Amino acid sequence: MIVLGIDTSCDDTSAGIVADGIKTLANVIHSQVAVHHPHGGVVPELASREHVRNIVPVVDEALKHAGLGMTDLDGIAVTVGPGLVGALLVGLYHAKGLSYVLGKPLIAVNHLEAHILSIFLESEHPPFPFVALTVSGGHTSLYYVEDFGRYTLLGQTLDDAAGEAFDKVAKISGMGYPGGVAIEKASRNGRHDGVKFPRAYMSKTSLDFSFSGLKTAVSLFLKKWRDDPVLSAEISLNDIVASFQEAVVDVLVAKVMVAAKRMGVASVVLAGGVACNNHLRKNLVEAAGIDGMRVYYPRPAYCTDNGAMIALTGYHRFVRDGATHMAVDVRARYPIQDLMLE
């Protein structure tokens, strides 16, 4: 079964084609970073307009890369949430149009499920069950994954997502957008213990996350740092963002390891845009190795929002539940718990 996957959940217009839920035939991503960079973050209205402009050429390019025509497709998968409503609508209505004209099944996909399953785009992937951390600009969540379509939420952010915290700290420190890339690059030349920023572990048993306090602590320290010549001479901006990154990574790694031990799994999956962060990958691999666990993470192209993971997830959703009714609508919020009730 050849499935086209479309994702317009945020600021990337993407289309991927996957055969039988195994082989990626194409994965085309059109980034909007240049559009949103001057604003220091994603502007929803601009994102929607860019999706309208790019959706047709991106899908056409994916088909060209795969060496296929529209009639070769067996299904059309599309993200219906969570995400920006205006952006999601562009992808959904394009997918509905293709489904109607071609007479191919429409398959609605949960973006969070797609991030969890993105590891199956790689030839090496973990056996079930495993613990998955999805960490991005909009989400930071821990799941126990028993099988395709069987997920248990273990913990989630109570305020800012980790990626959102990266973007906000990058903005207030003058490093621009996207924040995660800028901070990781600057951190390579900074001291990770330069500033003692707080770690919000909540309670000993909690698997939830909170990064708003850390973000506030960085903001207050930056204000003090800019007003104090002596402090500015002792600590560099690179030291500050490196210490911030260390605080985020420490919490993420600690929570993942608690979850993995609690659930008795031998494998951990790291997914989502922040999974591209090499410092996070390195620290998680080291921590897991101590307990004999293995860490899996997709290549960067499969960590960020992409159509291939939508196509793969659509394939498994179709095998499990069949086609989606054409009346389906987008959902700004689409917790994976809701997916389990459908």
Domain boundaries, the chain: 2-116+302-341, 126-297
Q: What backbone torsions phi and psi does residue 142 show, to the nearest 5 degrees?
A: -115, 135
pLDDT given at position 39? 87
pLDDT given at position 134? 97
In the chain, % helix, strand, coil (3-state, to 5) comes to 50, 20, 30
Separation of alpha carbons 8 and 222, rounded Å: 35
Tell me the per-residue pLDDT of 240-282, one tens digit each, with 9 for 90 and over: 999 999 999 999 999 999 999 999 999 999 999 999 999 999 9
> Which of 48, 5, 45, 49 is closest to 29 using CA atoms?
5
Q: What backbone torsions phi and psi does residue 267 show, to the nearest 5 degrees?
A: -135, 150
Residues pairing with 106 in the sheet: 76
Half-sphere exposure of 134 (CA within 13 A, CB side): 26
Query: Has residue 340 got a pLDDT over 80?
Result: no
**By the 8 A CB rule, do 128 and 147 touch?**
yes
Lowest mean pLDDT among 218-227, 289-298, 332-341: 332-341
Q: Which CATH superfamily is domain 2-116+302-341 in?
A: ATPase, nucleotide binding domain (3.30.420.40)
pLDDT given at position 106? 98
Sign of CA dihedral 245, 34, 297, 75: positive
pLDDT given at position 19? 98
Query: Has residue 341 got a pLDDT over 90?
Result: no
Separation of alpha carbons 133 and 291, rounded Å: 18
Tell me the per-residue pLDDT of 61-97, one tens digit each, with 9 for 90 and over: 999 999 999 999 999 999 999 999 999 999 999 999 9
Q: What percent of the chain has pLDDT over 90?
A: 93
Residues pairing with 291 in the sheet: none
Tokens 């917790």 belong to residue: 335
Separation of alpha carbons 217 and 214, rounded Å: 5
Tell me the per-residue pLDDT of 147-194, one tens digit each, with 9 for 90 and over: 999 999 999 999 999 999 999 999 999 998 889 999 999 999 999 999
Burial letters 25-37, b for 16+ CB under 10 A, else e: bbbbbbbbeeebe
Tokens 């207030």 belong to residue: 172
Q: What is the mean pLDDT of the chain?
A: 96
Separation of alpha carbons 339 and 98, rounded Å: 24
Q: What backbone torsions phi and psi does residue 213 show, to the nearest 5 degrees?
A: -65, -40
Tell me the per-residue pLDDT of 128-141, one tens digit each, with 9 for 90 and over: 999 999 999 889 99
Own/partner pairs, 320-325, CB within 8 angstroms, 24+ separation: 320/148, 320/149, 322/105, 323/75, 323/105, 323/106, 323/107, 324/105, 324/106, 324/107, 324/108
**By the 8 A CB rule, do 309 and 5 touch?**
yes
Which residues, including other chains, have CB under 8 Å from residue 205's CB and lie 6 or more apart? Answer: none
Helix (H), strand (E) counts: the chain = 13, 10
Report the top-level CATH class of 126-297.
Answer: alpha beta
Paired sense of beta strands 267-271 and 294-296, if any: parallel
pLDDT given at position 251? 97
Residues pairing with 209 in the sheet: 157
Given this chain, do its domains 2-116+302-341 and 126-297 carry the same CATH topology? Answer: yes
- The alpha carbon of 302 is separated from its chain's Cα centroid by a whole number of angstroms, namely 9
pLDDT given at position 185? 95
pLDDT given at position 339? 79
Query: Has residue 342 got a pLDDT over 90?
Result: no
> Which of 321, 297, 263 is closest to 133 using CA atoms?
297
